[in-house]
Structure 1
Amino acid sequence: MPSLAWRIDEPSTDLGSTNGTAANVNPCPWRLILLDVDHFKNYNDHYGHGAGDDCLIAIARSMASAVNRSSDLIARYGGEEFAIVLPETALAPACALAERVRHSVEEQHLPHAASPTAPHVTVSLGVASLVPSGGSRIRDLILQADDCLYRAKRQGRNRVCSRAGGSNSEATADAKAESLPAIDTQP
């Protein structure tokens, strides 16, 4: 298995070189799930920052209960954003995991009186796929996942959107990703 010794905050890291392992010959697929709490600013404004912190902890627990492989990584990516890194994972299981997380958060029924989406806390998730090749960058994977996340938000929030892709360059990755079908799930 390739080393997970790359940093998500260093987007220029080359995914094709994994410290000289066999991944250079036979690269494994990487999946990235980005999660954003829907209308979280409204939540903080309505309930206060302490309640916001408790909400984020509850969401992190939902994520942790859904992720069960030691090779998978959950990280807080921003204020109300989280990332789940899934090495050696096919796209369909990554999407299923994202949907389990979405459903688990929704099933908590954490009140969110300030949300136009639902009377409880919901999350939107974007799932992206990249098979490393020469010149593949973490940035490519992050951009694809971010694009899927914002598509989920544009389509009404509280859903999972995904797209497969991967290539040697950004332009090719975008072209390939756009030529592949999108997978969307919603409640």
Structure 2
Amino acid sequence: MRKSRNLKILCLAAFAFLYANTTFAQDSEIKNYDQGFRLGFGINGGIPTDKDYDWSLGGDVRLQYDLTKRASLTLTTGFTNLFQKGDAKDLGFIPAKAGFKAFIWEDQFYVLGEVGAGFAVTNGYDKTTFLWAPGIGYANKYIDLSVRYEDYKDFRTNQVALRVAYGFDL
């Protein structure tokens, strides 16, 4: 439990530090940037960090609104399934997350923080959980690759996941 708490604090501290470094963008860059929406479709695969589940697989849709060239708001939903070995029931859920993405290097490398809820929908599970997910990634005009830590409080598990996505301007 203490190890998980320390990891959470470390991730939040890193996110705050990296975000603080992005707030000093040039004024001319912000004034001349056209704000707009992006839509992305991703595939996610992950490994839970505990022994309750063996692996995960999912898909998502992310709507992104670019506030500036270096800062965006995100809304993400989709479906994730946590798999177990043997006769144990897998857990499938729908995440609904809101987040903030800050580009920190060359307008391609970013940090992302998301919070939201996970709604269990398979195998008789009837819980809803709070979830939070800090991550880092790389994005260009069409491709978005990221790694994130995702914690599901009431599902009593968490994971490290890789996301590969295709995105485009709306």
Normalised by the length of structure 1, the TM-score is: 0.32
Normalised by the length of structure 2, the TM-score is: 0.35
Structure with greater proportional strand content: 2
Structure with greater proportional helix content: 1
Q: Higher relative contact order by CA 8 Å / sep ≥ 6: 1 or 2? A: 1
